[in-house]
């Protein structure tokens, strides 16, 4: 004899409208509906974030499904299982009782199971004379059958989103690689183009990417990079098509160019800039008298403030920040990748970054930053170059400008009036002066 089917949980557990909704869904499923329980479980597992389930709650659901004797769940058959907590914990890999109760509640709240509690809260089944189950108290799996189609659609949506995210990420990676290498190729080959502006646009787009970017941001940044890719690609294609050399001449020219990576423009400027890097006998004595310790980062930034604008976030706190800023400044100055790598090999990465920061600070006075850097690289290989004179010269120039400005302001103010400026001790001024031979 079938007794009343309970709709409320046992004990102090409250009844919610969500539980009522799950019961309504379970009661409205059509007769004869049959689903593969493990196929539905895979759909639930893939869509667990949309459903609100957790990894441990799915482990419990897996155990509950294992207590159902058939491989399929049918609306015409019994869908209530009544394992004890000890049996559930054993099949859930030894989960603690507290964790078990908490994640059973998660399954109820997600609308995947319904509690069918007995009057005393125990789980059991009452069978008739023929051995058929007349009344069962435990966990009702009917919502899984009723929501099988919905769960499959949710799983399809998750799979589509994962695939779209993967495609957007792959596309962004390929665009980043292409743009960086095409800009470097344009600079290396001496192609006419506003490479500095393009490098800035690239860095501006990349700066929008957070550590864990959603698909929408990846697609937005990817679209910006796609437009930049078209611009860079069109410039290189146009330049290539304008070359009227035959195949043999093109091959020979490419061989010569690769064996000597200096561009024509850099080669012409190299001799001009070499005079500037040779220095006088007094400067060579100053070089030998410089301290052997490394330049402090604070002094470098005081002497070369323009490099700070190239840093991501507008701040340089460590040497690695300076190296990253130098990578941004390099294409803007028109320095080829080969010239930069040679400088890093000869000077070291930090010293090369300091040198590039100093060149950027004097960019209005240097006609070819690439040729100038190569000249300094040659000096560094011979042990005749240090970043100290460059930085100290820039710092002296800055002090002189500030000193003249302070004197001009002081002349127009009343006696005793003071404005902001640099106050330098006599000891520092002696340090900044060039030692005389």
Closest CA to 288 of 201, 398, 388: 388
**Residue 419: pLDDT above 50?**
no
The rounded distance, in Å, linking the Cα atoms of 32 and 20 is 23
Task: Classify residue 168 by burial, with Cβ atoms within 10 Å: 0-12, 13-18, 19+.
Answer: buried
**And the tokens for 26?**
């379970």
What is the Cα–Cα distance from 53 to 43, expressed in whole angstroms? 12
393-412 tens-digit pLDDT: 888 888 777 777 777 776 66
Q: Could you give the CA distance from residue 307 to residue 327 in angstroms, rounded to a whole number?
A: 11
- Cα–Cα distance between 82 and 93 in angstroms, integer? 18
Q: Are 329 and 196 spatial neighbours (Cβ–Cβ below 8 Å)?
A: no
Residue 437 has pLDDT above 90, yes or no: no
Tell me the average pLDDT across 51-62. Answer: 91
Would you say 357 and 307 are in contact if contact means Cβ atoms under 8 Å apart? yes
Is the pLDDT assigned to residue 267 strictly greater than 50?
no
In the three-class reduction of DSSP (H, G, I as helix; E, B as strand; rest coil), residue 384 is classed as: coil
| CA–CA gap between residue 295 and residue 354 (Å, rounded) | 9
State the CATH architecture for 17-146: Orthogonal Bundle (1.10)
Range 61-69 contact pairs with CB under 8 angstroms and sequence separation of 24 or more: 61/107, 61/112, 61/113, 62/91, 62/92, 63/88, 63/91, 63/92, 64/88, 64/113, 64/139, 64/141, 65/37, 65/38, 65/41, 65/141, 66/91, 67/91, 68/37, 68/141
Q: Averaged over 266-274, what is the pLDDT?
A: 45
pLDDT > 70: percent of the chain: 74
Mean pLDDT of 41-47: 93
pLDDT: which is higher, 428 or 385: 385
As given in the structure block, the two tokens for residue 170 are 């792959």
> Looking at residue 26, what is its pLDDT?
67
What pLDDT, on the 0 to 100 scale, is given for residue 151?
92
Q: Would the pLDDT of 106 be above 80?
A: yes
What are the CA-CA distances from residue 86 to residues 93, 113, 332 (Å)? 11, 19, 69
Task: Give 129 or 251, the one with higher predicted confidence.
Answer: 129
pLDDT higher than 50, residue 122: yes
CA angle 344, 345, 350 (to 5 degrees): 35
Q: Evaluate whether 175 touches 202 at the Cβ level (below 8 Å).
A: no
pLDDT digits (tens, 9 = 90+) for 65-105: 999 888 888 877 778 888 988 998 888 888 888 999 899 98
Question: Is 138 in contact with 123 (CB distance < 8 Å)?
Answer: yes
Q: Output the pLDDT for position 268.
A: 41
> Region 361-375: what's the mean pLDDT?
89
Contact residues for 377 (Cβ-Cβ < 8 A; gap 6+): 339, 342, 343, 346, 347
CA separation for the pair 93, 96 (Å, rounded): 9
Q: Is the pLDDT of residue 428 over 70?
A: no
Residue 223: its pLDDT value, please?
94
Q: Is the pLDDT of residue 127 over 90?
A: no
**Token pair belonging to 132:** 């058929």
Buried b / exposed e over 191-217, threshold 16 CB at 10 Å, is bebebbebbebbbebbeeeeeebebee
Least confident of 109-123, 171-185, 224-238, 247-261: 247-261
pLDDT of residue 373: 92
Predicted confidence at residue 73, as pLDDT, reads 87
Question: Using CA atoms, how far apart are residues 199 and 220, in angstroms rounded to an integer?
Answer: 18
Q: Is the pLDDT at 259 greater than 70, yes or no?
A: no
The reported pLDDT for the residue numbered 15 is: 62
**What is the rounded average pLDDT of the residues 344-371?**
90
pLDDT band at 10 (very low <50, low <70, confident <90, very high): low
What local confidence, expressed as pLDDT, does residue 254 receive? 47
pLDDT of residue 95: 87
């Amino acid at each position: 004899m079938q007794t009343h089917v309970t709709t409320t949980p046992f004990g102090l557990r409250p009844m919610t409208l969500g539980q009522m909704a799950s019961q309504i869904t379970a009661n409205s499923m059509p007769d004869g509906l049959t689903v593969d329980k493990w196929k539905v479980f895979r759909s639930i597992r893939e869509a667990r974030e949309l459903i609100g389930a957790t990894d441990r709650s799915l482990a419990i659901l897996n155990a509950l499904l294992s207590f159902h004797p058939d491989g399929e769940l049918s609306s015409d058959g019994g869908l209530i299982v009544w394992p004890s907590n000890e049996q559930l914990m054993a099949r859930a890999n030894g989960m603690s009782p507290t964790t078990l109760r908490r994640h059973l509640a998660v399954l109820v709240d997600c609308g995947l199971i319904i509690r069918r509690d007995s009057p005393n809260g125990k789980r059991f089944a009452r069978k008739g004379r023929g051995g058929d189950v007349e009344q069962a108290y435990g966990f009702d799996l009917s919502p899984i059958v009723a929501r099988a189609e919905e769960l499959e659609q949710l799983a399809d949506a998750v799979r589509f989103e994962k695939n779209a995210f993967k495609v957007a990420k792959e596309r962004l990676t390929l665009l980043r690689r292409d743009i960086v290498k095409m800009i470097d190729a344009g600079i290396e080959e001496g192609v006419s183009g506003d490479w500095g502006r393009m490098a800035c646009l690239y860095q501006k787009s990349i700066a929008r990417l957070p550590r864990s970017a959603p698909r929408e941001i990846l697609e937005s940044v990817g679209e910006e990079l796609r437009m930049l890719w078209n611009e860079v690609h069109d410039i290189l294609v146009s330049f290539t098509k304008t070359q009227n050399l035959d195949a043999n001449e093109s091959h020979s020219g490419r061989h010569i160019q690769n064996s000597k990576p200096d561009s024509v423009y850099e080669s012409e400027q190299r001799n001009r800039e070499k005079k500037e890097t040779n220095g006088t006998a007094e400067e060579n004595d100053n070089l030998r008298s410089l301290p052997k310790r490394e330049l402090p980062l604070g002094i470098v930034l005081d002497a070369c403030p323009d490099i700070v604008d190239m840093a991501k976030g507008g701040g340089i706190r460590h040497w690695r920040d300076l190296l990253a800023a130098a990578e941004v400044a390099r294409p803007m100055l028109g320095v080829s990748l080969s010239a930069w790598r040679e400088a890093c090999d000869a000077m070291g990465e930090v010293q090369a970054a300091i040198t590039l920061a100093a060149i950027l600070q004097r960019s209005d006075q240097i006609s070819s930053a690439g040729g100038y850097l190569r000249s300094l690289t040659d000096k560094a290989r011979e042990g005749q170059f240090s970043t100290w004179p460059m930085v100290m010269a820039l710092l002296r120039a800055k002090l002189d400008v500030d000193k003249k400005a302070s004197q001009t302001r002081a002349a127009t103010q009343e006696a005793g009036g003071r404005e902001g400026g640099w106050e330098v001790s006599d000891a520092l001024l002696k340090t900044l002066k060039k030692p005389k031979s």
